[in-house]
Structure 1
Amino acid sequence: MPVASSDPIQKENRIGAWTPMRHPVFRMLWIAILFVNIASWMQDVGAGWLMTSLAPTPAMVSLVQAATSTPFFLLAIPAGALADIVDRRRFLIATQIWLACCAGALGFLTLTGLTSSILLLVFTFCLGVGLAMMMPAWGAVIPELVPREELQSAVALNSIAINIARSVGPAIAGIIVAAAGSGAVFLTNAAFYAIVTFLTIRWKRNVAQSELPSEHLLSAIKAGLRYARHSEALIAVMIRGACFFIFASASWALMPLIVRQELKRGPDVYGLMLGCIGVGAICGAILMPRLIRLVSRDTIIRCASAVYGVGMLALAASDRVITACCAMLAIGISWMMTASALMTAAQITLPGWVRARGLAFFWIVFTGGMAGGSVIWGQVAGLLNIQLALVIASACLFIGIGVSWRFYVGLNDKADLTPLSHDWAGPVPRDIEMHEGPIMITIEYQVRPEDADAFIDVMHRLGEIRQRNGGYMWELFNDINRPGIMIEFYLIESMVEMLRQRERMTVADREIRDEARAYHNGSTPPKVTRLLSAINHRKIF
Structure 2
Amino acid sequence: MPQCEPETSSVSLSPLHYPLFRAVWVATLAANIGVWMQNVAAAWLMTSISDSPLMVALIQTAITLPAFMFGLPAGVMADLVEKRKLLLLTHTWMLIATGLLCLLLQLDAITPWSLLLLTFLLGSGSAASIPAWQASTSDAVPRIALRAAINLNGIAYNAARAVGPALAGLVIAAAGAKMVFTINIVLFLIVLSLFIFAYRPNVAPLLTTERLFPAMRGGLRYVRHAKPLHGHIIRTFAFIGCASGLWALLPLVAKNIETGGSSVYGLLLGSLGAGAVAGGLLLQRFRNRLSNLQQLVMVSNVAFAGAILIAAWSTSLWVICPALIMGGASWISFNSTISAAYQTSLPAWVRARALAIFMLTFQGSMALGGVFWGSIASHLSVAQTLTLAACLIGLSLLLTRRLPVRMGHDDDVTLSQHWAEPTIVGHLGPDDGPVAVQVDYHIPYENRFAFTQSIYQLGKVRRRDGASHWLLYRDVADPGHFSERFIIASWGEHQRQRGRSTLADREQEQALRQFFKPGSSAVMSLYIVAPYPDAAADTAIQKTTEAIVAAGTPPPGGKSFV
Fold match by TM threshold 0.5: yes
**1:406 counterpart = 2:370:** no
| Corresponding pairs, count | 530
- Secondary structure in structure 2 of the residue aligned to 1:504: coil
Q: Which residue of 1 aligns with 2:381?
A: 385
The one-letter code sitting in structure 1 at the alignment partner of 2:66 is P
Q: Which residue of 2 aligns with 1:459?
A: 455
Of 22, 40, 49, 1:27 maps to: 22
Q: What are the ranges of 5 or more consecutive residues in structure 1 without an aligned counterpart?
A: none
Task: Show CA shifts across 1:490-537 (max 9, x none).
Answer: 110000000010122222322222223443335243110111122467
CA deviation after TM superposition for structure 1 residue 320, in Å: 3.7
- 1:146-165 aligned at under 5 Å gives the runs 146-165=141-160
**1:505 counterpart = 2:501:** yes
* CA–CA distance in structure 2, aligned partners of residues 529 and 341 of structure 1: 43
Q: Which residue of 2 aligns with 1:126?
A: 121
Task: Show CA shifts across 1:167-202 (max 9, x none).
Answer: 222333344445555444334323222221222232
Deviates more, 1:353-362 or 1:382-391: 382-391
Deviates more, 1:174-183 or 1:391-400: 174-183
What TM-score, normalized by structure 2, do the two folds share? 0.85
Of 205, 215, 219, 2:214 maps to: 219
CA deviation after TM superposition for structure 1 residue 346, in Å: 1.8
Asked if 2 retains the 8 angstrom alpha-carbon contact of 1:47 and 1:120, the reply is yes
Of 91, 94, 98, 1:99 maps to: 94
The one-letter code sitting in structure 1 at the alignment partner of 2:270 is G
Asked if 2 retains the 8 angstrom alpha-carbon contact of 1:140 and 1:347, the reply is no
Q: Which residue of 2 aligns with 1:369?
A: 365
Asked if 1 retains the 8 angstrom alpha-carbon contact of 2:242 and 2:390, the reply is yes
Q: Which residue of 1 aligns with 2:525?
A: 529
Task: Show CA shifts across 1:338-370 (max 9, x none).
Answer: 011111122112211111111111112111222
CA deviation after TM superposition for structure 1 residue 37, in Å: 0.8
Asked if 2 retains the 8 angstrom alpha-carbon contact of 1:153 and 1:288, the reply is no
Q: Which residue of 1 aligns with 2:345?
A: 349
- 1:36-435 aligned at under 5 Å gives the runs 36-48=31-43, 56=50, 58=52, 64-108=59-103, 110-111=105-106, 120-177=115-172, 181-201=176-196, 202-209=198-205, 211=207, 213-261=208-256, 265-294=260-289, 295-316=291-312, 318=314, 320-410=316-406, 412-421=408-417, 425-435=421-431
Task: Show CA shifts across 1:385-437 (max 9, x none).
Answer: 34443333222212212211232232634544123446751244334322011
Asked if 2 retains the 8 angstrom alpha-carbon contact of 1:424 and 1:499, the reply is no
- Secondary structure in structure 2 of the residue aligned to 1:138: helix
CA deviation after TM superposition for structure 1 residue 146, in Å: 2.1
Of 498, 515, 536, 2:511 maps to: 515
The one-letter code sitting in structure 2 at the alignment partner of 1:392 is L
CA deviation after TM superposition for structure 1 residue 272, in Å: 3.5
CA deviation after TM superposition for structure 1 residue 108, in Å: 4.5
Distance 1:305 1:449, change over 3 A: farther
Asked if 1 retains the 8 angstrom alpha-carbon contact of 2:29 and 2:156, the reply is yes
CA deviation after TM superposition for structure 1 residue 262, in Å: 5.7
Asked if 2 retains the 8 angstrom alpha-carbon contact of 1:153 and 1:285, the reply is no
- Secondary structure in structure 1 of the residue aligned to 2:344: helix
* CA–CA distance in structure 2, aligned partners of residues 335 and 297 of structure 1: 15
CA deviation after TM superposition for structure 1 residue 133, in Å: 0.9
* CA–CA distance in structure 2, aligned partners of residues 476 and 97 of structure 1: 51
Asked if 2 retains the 8 angstrom alpha-carbon contact of 1:80 and 1:360, the reply is yes
* CA–CA distance in structure 1, aligned partners of residues 63 and 268 of structure 2: 24
* CA–CA distance in structure 2, aligned partners of residues 536 and 73 of structure 1: 43
CA deviation after TM superposition for structure 1 residue 96, in Å: 1.6
Task: Show CA shifts across 1:23-49 (max 9, x none).
Answer: 232222111111111111222244455
* CA–CA distance in structure 1, aligned partners of residues 278 and 253 of structure 2: 24
Task: Show CA shifts across 1:102-126 (max 9, x none).
Answer: 3334435544667676655544333
Asked if 2 retains the 8 angstrom alpha-carbon contact of 1:80 and 1:359, the reply is yes
- 1:472-483 aligned at under 5 Å gives the runs 472-483=468-479
* CA–CA distance in structure 1, aligned partners of residues 44 and 318 of structure 2: 29
CA deviation after TM superposition for structure 1 residue 145, in Å: 1.8
The one-letter code sitting in structure 1 at the alignment partner of 2:27 is A
Structure number with larger C-alpha Rg? 2
Asked if 1 retains the 8 angstrom alpha-carbon contact of 2:60 and 2:366, the reply is no
Distance 1:309 1:503, change over 3 A: same
* CA–CA distance in structure 2, aligned partners of residues 198 and 144 of structure 1: 21
Deviates more, 1:299-308 or 1:236-245: 299-308
CA deviation after TM superposition for structure 1 residue 337, in Å: 0.7
CA deviation after TM superposition for structure 1 residue 280, in Å: 2.1
Asked if 1 retains the 8 angstrom alpha-carbon contact of 2:15 and 2:145, the reply is yes
Deviates more, 1:451-460 or 1:93-102: 451-460
The one-letter code sitting in structure 2 at the alignment partner of 1:27 is R
Percent of aligned positions that are identical: 35
* CA–CA distance in structure 2, aligned partners of residues 382 and 52 of structure 1: 15
Asked if 1 retains the 8 angstrom alpha-carbon contact of 2:170 and 2:263, the reply is no
Distance 1:398 1:106, change over 3 A: closer
* CA–CA distance in structure 2, aligned partners of residues 257 and 107 of structure 1: 25
Q: What are the ranges of 5 or more consecutive residues in structure 2 without an aligned counterpart?
A: 542-562
* CA–CA distance in structure 1, aligned partners of residues 337 and 452 of structure 2: 33
* CA–CA distance in structure 2, aligned partners of residues 61 and 309 of structure 1: 22
The one-letter code sitting in structure 1 at the alignment partner of 2:163 is V
Asked if 2 retains the 8 angstrom alpha-carbon contact of 1:107 and 1:185, the reply is no
* CA–CA distance in structure 2, aligned partners of residues 299 and 174 of structure 1: 36
